[in-house]
């Protein structure tokens, strides 16, 4: 608490001396039992995942800079094999696939890089990152001691390593890459491969090290990773992890900042108090390298999402959101955490921690060597706060929290006490023209093309029996059309019957004589579809068309490549000829890979074949739409709001935004208004958006747009109304902070008592999120016992009468402001009670 008699107002953020990150690209990266060594110096390194193809090249520099500003030392990315080698030995590293450019931008920002070559990625990416052509190599078996697979894996891995060497991007060449990864989470499933798994993993390690990168290699989730490969941990918590050798450092390659979202699922999120607790616990117990998965999640553009059923959004509740904006308070609180950990770095790398118990669920870890001392105090209990005695001083430890003491005396941060600002994001619907409504902007100039039901391609073929979809399409399209027709008596019955279809997934539409009869879909837990629909066969010839579709290919699990899709049967007609059942599965079927619109290239700019008439067909299945539009005004990130649409894919100026499916809603149960950060986090612990579409807003990168004359193309499977689609701009509605008298002072103001002889109290700070903005209004301010959360603060039983005017005077008209949280500033509205200051503001 600040000394009485001093009124504290600080416009803009005070910057004081903080231990700066030492980022100089060294020629020698090694490791010992404590840490990675860069030019002989042990380093505590904080890393974050940014997958270059999940954003656009124009976003890369900003994402990397925001990562650096957030206190990261390292940027991590997978390398996606199927992105770069869609056809065997035909490579693509252009545009958004320019891996070299991305790594060079990391270097320009003064950060290190961790290149996870794999080449198996998982990552909720289509087919785990493997190219589909790999599946068709004779005799191949993925991820085991198999000669064809190992030959292809070595060839691609060597290709990537050689590219990096040619550009001198490894640290051994003066570049930023200090780590590489081979394989990925194989230890989770290697038991399924028997003794061949061990042979394979030893081969992979030997192959990787033979490529002579000059930097260490890691294997995550691989307890038997052979020397010199470092085995690392992935998970929500890794404080209890121990490397498989006393010569290797404790490293965490995936700290999951949230979780992925499937179509049909509620939106998961992870409270930052828990995430910060997990990070602090890891460093408390001897860790020295930690990576956030994800730091920026991004977007699954095109057909890159896996799963199956993974949404186009890969936001992951990351510190930087899908659109490239800071997610607060997550980004800011982690930034403060990183600064706090860096204040301890010299002591941490000098020695192992000494861990002692301070009581039930209470623990102290002390790093002490050669005049250096840093301590971490933890309360791992989930129910009760605690007051602990340490080195003769008392410390308040909330449940499920860690306090960091860089000098073993004064706490710089507690993981449960957030000093960072909180922002409330919102999407503002807008048109492409300020003078017209949203719907009018899109209504002008709509054209369409009716996708034919059934077989329309010259490349169609017939075969006896039902064909598995992935082997048939080679994933060249989501769609496989299958039909049966002819002179068979059961197709001339003219009676009511039931069509029964069994599919391995992922979704299915059944048409009888050109009319939609029924649809079915799987889900992320069970992709299979079992559909029964009552149909009427007309007298004479009947046609049954089954349109089967995939929603991303399997990306995880033992033998995931053998997971099939599509209608594999049985397909039956029930109730034919006085109640008999006829199995159609072994009959002759005709097949067509893909859609007529795909064959015609309707998604590309300048395509022909469109129909333009006064009456726009709506709410009908299998229809393509297109219109032209001007780019929305302003610089805010833009999304397309797919209100009124069913399921399909969208393209802007020939580039695929991805699959949309706003009609797939989540369950009504499982969500809560608030989520208690205390206790172990699980992927389903904290959910929001129950009973609503899993995803209704789809990122449309501004770099894809021209000022005018842009083309939007939609393929709608189920039936929708494109005139209801609108633009939505990603903006910040308000910003808040809630700081108590018991909070530590801001990290930037921390100094040891030994240096200053005095200490400042807690501060509440606000800062507008965008350049050229200032704080324009204070929507709420209370010093006393306010309660609620950002956007819903309310006064408690006591509140300073002058709080609002004091905050207004300090903040309005400034880009940022800071106010001392003490009775010296606001007076004492309730003597003897611990008070807090809550503020909500708006910026313009």
| Separation CA 82–CA 414 (nearest Å) | 43
Q: What is the 3-state secondary structure (H, E, C) of 383-397?
A: CCCEEEEECCEEEEE
| Separation CA 26–CA 263 (nearest Å) | 45
Pick the closest to residue 732 from 688, 776, 768, 781 (CA basis): 768
Q: How far is residue 83 from each of residues 78, 304, 359, 655, 792, measured CA to CA in Å?
A: 11, 9, 53, 15, 45
| Separation CA 431–CA 448 (nearest Å) | 21
Per-residue buried b or exposed e for 694-709, using 16+ beta carbons within 10 Å of the residue's own CB: bbbbbbbbbebbeeee
Which of the following is catalytic: 152, 185, 273, 363?
185
Q: What is the 3-state secondary structure (H, E, C) of 620-653?
A: CCCEEEEEEECCCCCCCCEEEECCCCCCEEEEEC
Say if residues 403 and 387 touch (Cβ distance below 8 Å).
no
Determine phi and psi for 75, rounding to 5 degrees. Answer: -110, 130
In degrees, rounded to 5, the angle at the alpha carbon of residue 679 between the alpha carbons of residues 399 and 296 is 105
Pick the closest to residue 2 from 842, 613, 835, 838 (CA basis): 835
3-state secondary structure of 796: coil
Determine phi and psi for 422, rounding to 5 degrees. Answer: -110, 135
Is 468 among the residues known to form the active site?
A: no
Point out which residues pair with 818 in neighbouring strands. 10, 765
H/E element, 710: strand 710-716
Is 254 among the residues known to form the active site?
A: yes
Determine phi and psi for 332, rounding to 5 degrees. Answer: -70, -40
Per DSSP bridges, beta strands 9-11 and 816-820 are: antiparallel
In degrees, rounded to 5, the angle at the alpha carbon of residue 365 between the alpha carbons of residues 364 and 369 is 135
In degrees, rounded to 5, the angle at the alpha carbon of residue 241 between the alpha carbons of residues 236 and 244 is 140
Task: Give the relative orientation of helices 196-210 and 147-166 as an angle to the nearest 10 degrees.
Answer: 20
| Separation CA 613–CA 449 (nearest Å) | 11
| Separation CA 341–CA 35 (nearest Å) | 15
Per DSSP bridges, beta strands 267-268 and 447-450 are: unpaired
Pick the closest to residue 480 from 450, 506, 500 (CA basis): 506
State the distance between the two ends of the chain, measured CA to CA, in whole angstroms. Answer: 33
Which of the following is catalytic: 152, 183, 254, 346?
254
| Separation CA 386–CA 130 (nearest Å) | 50
DSSP 8-state assignment for residue 429: E
| Separation CA 431–CA 438 (nearest Å) | 4
Residues in Cβ contact with 366 at an 8 Å cutoff, skipping those fewer than 6 apart? 353, 354, 356, 373, 374, 375, 408
Pick the closest to residue 568 from 468, 480, 463 (CA basis): 468
Residues in Cβ contact with 816 at an 8 Å cutoff, skipping those fewer than 6 apart? 11, 12, 13, 765, 766, 767, 768, 775
Q: For CA atoms 22, 23, 26, 28, give the dihedral sign.
A: positive
Pick the closest to residue 343 from 392, 280, 396, 388 (CA basis): 280
Q: Tell me the catalytic residues.
A: 185, 254
């Amino acid at each position: 608490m600040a000394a009485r008699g001093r009124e504290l107002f600080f416009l803009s953020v005070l910057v004081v001396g903080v231990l700066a990150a030492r980022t100089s690209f060294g020629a020698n990266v090694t490791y010992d039992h404590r840490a990675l060594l860069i030019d002989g110096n042990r380093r505590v390194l904080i890393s974050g995942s940014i997958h270059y193809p999940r954003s656009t090249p124009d976003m890369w520099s900003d994402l990397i800079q925001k990562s650096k500003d957030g206190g990261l030392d390292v940027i991590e990315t997978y390398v996606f094999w199927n992105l770069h080698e869609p056809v065997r030995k035909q490579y693509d590293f252009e545009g958004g696939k320019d891996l070299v450019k991305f790594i060079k931008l990391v270097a320009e920002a003064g950060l290190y890089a961790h290149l996870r070559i794999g080449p198996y990625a998982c990552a909720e990416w289509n087919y785990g990152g493997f190219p589909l052509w790999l599946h068709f190599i004779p005799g191949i078996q993925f991820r085991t001691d198999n000669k064809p697979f190992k030959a292809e894996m070595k060839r691609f891995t060597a290709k990537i390593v050689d590219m990096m060497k040619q550009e001198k991007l490894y640290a051994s060449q003066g570049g930023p890459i200090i780590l590489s990864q081979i394989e990925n989470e194989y230890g989770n499933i290697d038991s399924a491969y028997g003794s061949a798994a061990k042979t394979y993993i030893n081969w992979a390690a030997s192959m990787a090290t033979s490529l002579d990168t000059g930097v260490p290699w890691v294997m995550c989730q691989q307890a038997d990773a052979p020397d010199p490969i470092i085995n690392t941990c992935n998970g929500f918590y890794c404080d209890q992890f121990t490397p498989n050798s006393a010569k290797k450092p404790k490293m965490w390659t995936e700290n999951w900042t949230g979780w992925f979202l499937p179509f049909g699922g509620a939106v998961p999120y992870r409270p930052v108090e828990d995430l910060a607790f997990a990070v602090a616990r890891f460093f408390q117990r001897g860790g020295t390298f930690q990576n956030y998965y994800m730091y920026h999640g991004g977007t699954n553009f095109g057909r890159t999402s896996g799963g199956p059923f993974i949404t186009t959004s890969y936001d992951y509740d990351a510190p930087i959101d899908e659109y490239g904006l800071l997610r607060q308070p997550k980004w800011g609180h982690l930034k403060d955490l990183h600064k706090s950990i860096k204040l301890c770095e010299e002591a941490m790398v000098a020695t192992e921690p000494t861990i002692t118990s301070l009581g039930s669920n209470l623990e102290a870890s002390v790093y002490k060597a050669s005049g250096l001392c840093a301590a971490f105090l933890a309360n791992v209990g989930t129910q009760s706060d605690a007051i602990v005695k340490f080195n003769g001083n008392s410390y308040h430890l909330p449940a499920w929290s860690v306090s960091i003491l860089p000098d073993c005396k004064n706490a710089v941060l507690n993981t449960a006490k957030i000093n960072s600002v909180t922002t409330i994001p919102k999407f503002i619907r807008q048109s492409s023209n300020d003078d017209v409504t949203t719907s009018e902007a899109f209504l002008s100039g709509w054209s369409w093309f009716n996708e034919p039901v059934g077989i329309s391609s010259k490349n169609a073929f017939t075969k006896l029996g039902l064909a598995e979809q992935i082997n048939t399409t080679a994933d060249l399209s989501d769609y496989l059309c299958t039909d049966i027709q002819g002179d068979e008596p059961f197709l001339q019955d003219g009676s009511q019957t039931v069509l029964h279809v069994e599919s391995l997934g992922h979704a299915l539409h059944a048409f009888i004589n050109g009319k939609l009869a029924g649809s079915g879909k799987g889900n992320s837990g069970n992709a299979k579809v079992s559909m029964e629909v009552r149909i009427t066969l007309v007298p004479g010839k009947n046609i049954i068309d089954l349109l089967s579709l995939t929603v991303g290919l399997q990306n995880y699990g033992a033998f995931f490549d053998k997971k099939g899709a599509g209608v594999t049967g049985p397909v039956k007609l029930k109730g034919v000829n006085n109640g008999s059942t006829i199995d159609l599965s072994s009959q002759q079927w005709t097949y067509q890979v893909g859609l007529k619109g795909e064959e015609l290239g309707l998604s590309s700019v300048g395509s022909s074949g469109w129909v333009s008439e006064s009456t726009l067909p709506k709410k009908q299945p299998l229809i393509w739409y297109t219109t032209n539009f001007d780019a929305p005004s302003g610089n805010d990130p833009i999304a397309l709001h797919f209100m009124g649409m069913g399921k399909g894919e969208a393209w802007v100026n020939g580039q695929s935004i991805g699959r949309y499916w706003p009609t797939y809603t989540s369950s009504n149960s499982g969500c809560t208004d608030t989520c208690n950060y205390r206790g172990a986090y699980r992927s389903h612990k904290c959910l929001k958006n129950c009973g609503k579409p899993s995803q209704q807003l789809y990122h449309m990168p501004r770099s894809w747009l021209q000022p005018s004359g842009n083309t939007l193309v939609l393929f709608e499977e189920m039936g929708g109304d494109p005139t209801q689609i609108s633009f939505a701009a990603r903006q910040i509605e308000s910003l808040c902070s809630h700081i108590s008298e018991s909070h530590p002072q801001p990290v930037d103001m921390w100094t040891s008592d030994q240096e200053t002889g005095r200490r400042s109290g807690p501060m509440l700070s606000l800062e507008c999120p965008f350049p050229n903005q200032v704080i324009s209004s204070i929507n709420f301010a209370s010093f006393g016992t306010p309660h609620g959360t950002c956007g819903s603060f309310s006064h408690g039983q006591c509140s300073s009468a002058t709080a609002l005017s004091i905050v207004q005077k300090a903040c309005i008209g400034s880009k940022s402001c800071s106010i001392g949280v003490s009775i010296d500033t606001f007076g004492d509205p309730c003597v003897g009670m611990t008070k807090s200051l809550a503020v909500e503001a708006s910026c313009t």
